[in-house]
Amino acid sequence: MPSRRGWIALALGVLCLVTVGVPMTLSGAVAGANENAATLDLSLPGPFNGCSFLDPGATPTSDAILDLVRPSAFVTNANGTLEGEGGAISSTELISLAPETVRYTIDANLTWSDGLPFNGSDLVDWWQRARALSSVTSDGYRAIKSLVVSTNGLSVTAVFSSPYADWDLLFRDVEAPGTTPGCAIADLATRPSLGAYDVQSATASRIVLTMNSHWPPDTNRFGRIVITDNQNLPTTETSNFADYTLAVNGAEVLELSNHPALLSRISSSSNVEELTYSPSVATTSLLAVRKALSWSIDRQAMIDTMFGAVTFSPSVAASAIYSQGESAYPGPSGSNPGGQATTTTSPATSGLADCESCALTALRDAGFQRTSAGWMDSTTKALTIRLGVGPSDLDHAVALLVQHDWKAIGIDSTVVDESSDQGAALAAAVGRVDVALFARPTATSPSYAARSWAGPAYPDTYPSGVRLASVTTLFDQARDIFNPVTASVTWLKLDQVIMNDFWVRPLFTAPSLTIWSSTLTPVSNSFVVSGFVDQIPTWSKVPLTTGS
C-alpha cells in the first residue's frame, strides 16, 4: 500500500466497464516534511487477534490493521465506500459483463517480507483457499468460474459463472501462499507482510508496525505505528495520536475538554444495535409476540437516556441492513452530525413506529390475557422472554432499558450472557433464547448484512434461522445489479420485508468518536474503523510555526 494514494472513485454502471487504478499521486502532506522517524500512537477497539481476512473470527479492527500490511484490490475511504488501492494490486478492470470478467494487474518487482515475489499465482492461491471456506466472505470467490494468470504473471483474469456485483469486495488483505489459517495473535507477526508496513510485534492489546524498508520510499510516512486498545489519551501535546472508539458517552466527551491539544468528532458507526427474534420457540414464532416486544420499546427515549448528553444523538433506526452513516440509509443521515438534535425517523411503513398501545392490542388480539402474574396464553402459560445479550457494555446497557419497557407492559424477561455478537444471533436462530440483542456490523455492501436472511447460514452471517421466499428472491435480484444506486432500491425492499415481519427490530446506529492530535492533518472522521485506519498513509504532521 503506497503511502500517498491517488484515489479514483469507483463508479459502477450496468452499461459501462470500469477501470480502477492510480495513474498519479495526490498528497495532503506538507512538502518537505519527513515523518520516517516519527511514531503514530493509534487506539482502536480491541482486543486484537491474528485472523486473516477470511477467518470467521476476523473483526472490523483486525481487518483494518491488515489493510496496512497486506495487498488489497480496494480499500475503504472515510465515507465507507471502496476505492482503488493502487498498491501491490495496481489496477482492477471490469472488462466484460457477458460473462462478467474482471482483470487484476499486479505491480511489478514487489516481494513479500520473506523475499518471495508477489505475482498472479498468489491471487490464484487466495481464490482456491477462499472458495472452499464456509464463510460469507467467500461468496464472491465461489462465483468465479476460472482465474487465469498471464504469461508474465503480472495480471489475472477472473471469469464469473454468475453475476456478482460486489466483485470489488474480493482480493482484500491477501495472505502469502502457505500461511497457516487461524486467529492466534502470535501468527500476525510471523506471516509474510506486503505493504507500507511490517508487523514487528503483536499481542491482544498492542501491535507495533514498522515501515517496510523494501516498499517504495516516502518521506511523508510515519516510520512506526503503535496500536493499542487502552484508549488512554496522550499526556503530552507533542504526541501524534489518533483514536477510533464506539465508547461514546458524556464522561468520555467531558474528559476531552481537558485536552485542548486534541481534536474530536462524534458521528455514526457501522454498528446497528438490534433485536433479533427466534423462529424456533413458541413465543417469538408468533407474529403478535414479535410485534408486542418491538412496539413496546420507546427507542427515542432509549437514545435520549444513553446519548442525550453528547453532541450527536442517533435517530431511531430506519433500516436493519444499512447504518445511519451510509448514503442509502432511508432515515436521517449521520454523516454530518454537528449540532444535530434528537430526531425521529420517518419509516416507509407505519407499522415500524414505536407504539405501546399497539403492543397491548396485539397481545390481546392473539388471545393473551393480562393477569397479576403477567400475560397468559390460552393454556395459562405465562409469557416470559429469555434475552440473549452480546458482550459489549453497550449491549448490556441497552438490555436494561429493553427489559424496563417490557416490564412496563407486563412481560418478564431474563438475560442470558453471550460471548460474542455472532453467538447471540446463533442462540436466537436455534432457539436457545427467544430474543437476541447485539450490534450488527454493516459492511460496504448491504449483501453482507442481508445474508442473515438469505443463502447458507454461515457462522459469520449472524444466522437468523429465518428464510422467506420473498427475501431470497429480492436478495438474488439485488446482488446481480451492478449499479449500486439502482441496487439500493431492491435492498431497501428486502429491508422492509424483514422489518415488517418483525424478525428484526433495529434500535439505533451506535455513534462513534474519533480523536486526533492537532499535530496531524488531514484527518477525516469515519463511520467504519477501516475507513479511519486506511487514511493513515495520507496523514502528515503539522509543521511547527515560529512566532513573529
pLDDT averages per 10-residue partition of the chain, 548 residues: 29 37 37 80 94 89 95 88 86 94 94 94 97 90 96 97 93 94 92 94 96 87 94 80 85 79 88 97 97 96 81 83 90 48 34 89 96 90 96 94 97 96 95 97 89 89 95 95 93 96 96 91 89 92 60
The reply to whether 249 falls in a domain is no
List the grid coordinates of 507: 434500535
Peptide bond into 47 cis (omega under 30): yes
Identify which of 270, 257, 248, 207 has the alpha carbon closest to the alpha carbon of residue 68: 207
21 neighbors 489 (Cβ within 8 angstroms): no
Claim to verify: residue 115 and residue 221 sit in the same structural domain: yes
Contacts (Cβ under 8 Å, ≥6 apart) of 450: 321, 471, 475, 478, 491, 494, 495
465 neighbors 278 (Cβ within 8 angstroms): yes
The reply to whether 406 falls in a domain is yes
What pLDDT, on a 0 to 100 scale, did the predictor assign at position 333? 64
| Domain housing 452 | 270-510
Collapse the DSSP code of 348 into the 3-class scheme (helix H, G, I; strand E, B; otherwise coil) and give the result.
Answer: coil
What's the number of domains the chain is made of?
2
Claim to verify: residue 224 and residue 286 sit in the same structural domain: no
Claim to verify: residue 426 and residue 342 sit in the same structural domain: yes
Identify which of 136, 18, 6, 7 has the alpha carbon closest to the alpha carbon of residue 484: 18
Round to whole Å and give the CA distance between 189 and 244.
23
Query: Each residue of 350-368: b (16+ CB within 10 Å) or e?
Result: ebbebbeebbbebbeebeb
| Alpha-carbon torsion (174, 179, 181, 183), positive or negative | negative
The reply to whether 535 falls in a domain is yes
Claim to verify: residue 163 and residue 310 sit in the same structural domain: no
Residue 420 burial (CB count, 10 A): 15
What pLDDT, on a 0 to 100 scale, did the predictor assign at position 310? 57
CATH number at residue 459: 3.10.105.10
List the grid coordinates of 331: 432515515
What pLDDT, on a 0 to 100 scale, did the predictor assign at position 26? 32
Claim to verify: residue 172 and residue 308 sit in the same structural domain: no
Round to whole Å and give the CA distance between 46 and 206.
9
Which DSSP state fits 455?
S
The reply to whether 258 falls in a domain is no
Residue type, 373: A
Total length of the chain: 548
The reply to whether 248 falls in a domain is no
What pLDDT, on a 0 to 100 scale, did the predictor assign at position 286? 97
Round to whole Å and give the CA distance between 304 and 318.
17
Claim to verify: residue 347 and residue 474 sit in the same structural domain: yes
- Residue ranges of alpha helices (H) inside 248-295 are 250-256, 287-295
Claim to verify: residue 496 and residue 526 sit in the same structural domain: no
Claim to verify: residue 530 and residue 486 sit in the same structural domain: no
- 42, β-bridge pairs: 227, 242
What pLDDT, on a 0 to 100 scale, did the predictor assign at position 18? 46
Which DSSP state fits 236?
S
Identify which of 529, 325, 308, 302 has the alpha carbon closest to the alpha carbon of residue 437: 302
pTM score = 0.85
Q: Count the helix, strand and coil residues of the chain and give each as a percent rounded to the nearest 5.
A: 25, 25, 50
The reply to whether 311 falls in a domain is yes
CATH number at residue 99: 3.40.190.10
Beta strands in 107-149 (DSSP E): 144-149
Q: Rg of the chain over CA atoms, in angstroms?
A: 24
312 neighbors 265 (Cβ within 8 angstroms): no
Q: How big is the CA angle at 83 (ends 82 and 89), to the nearest 5 degrees?
A: 115
- State the number of CA atoms in the 13 A half-sphere of 531 facing the CB: 22
Report how far Cα 156 is from the mean position of its chain's Cα atoms.
28
166 neighbors 445 (Cβ within 8 angstroms): yes
Collapse the DSSP code of 19 into the 3-class scheme (helix H, G, I; strand E, B; otherwise coil) and give the result.
Answer: strand
356 neighbors 299 (Cβ within 8 angstroms): no
Claim to verify: residue 317 and residue 465 sit in the same structural domain: yes
Which DSSP state fits 434?
S
Claim to verify: residue 201 and residue 283 sit in the same structural domain: no
321 neighbors 495 (Cβ within 8 angstroms): yes
The reply to whether 529 falls in a domain is yes
Residue type, 290: R
Contacts (Cβ under 8 Å, ≥6 apart) of 115: none
What pLDDT, on a 0 to 100 scale, did the predictor assign at position 215? 87
Claim to verify: residue 474 and residue 501 sit in the same structural domain: yes
Contacts (Cβ under 8 Å, ≥6 apart) of 447: 139, 166, 475, 478, 479, 491
Claim to verify: residue 168 and residue 306 sit in the same structural domain: no
Round to whole Å and give the CA distance between 304 and 310.
10
Residue type, 403: Q
- Beta strand 144-149 with 100-106 is unpaired
The reply to whether 292 falls in a domain is yes
- Residue 136 burial by Cβ neighbours in a 10 Å radius (0-12, 13-18, 19+): buried
List the grid coordinates of 47: 482486543
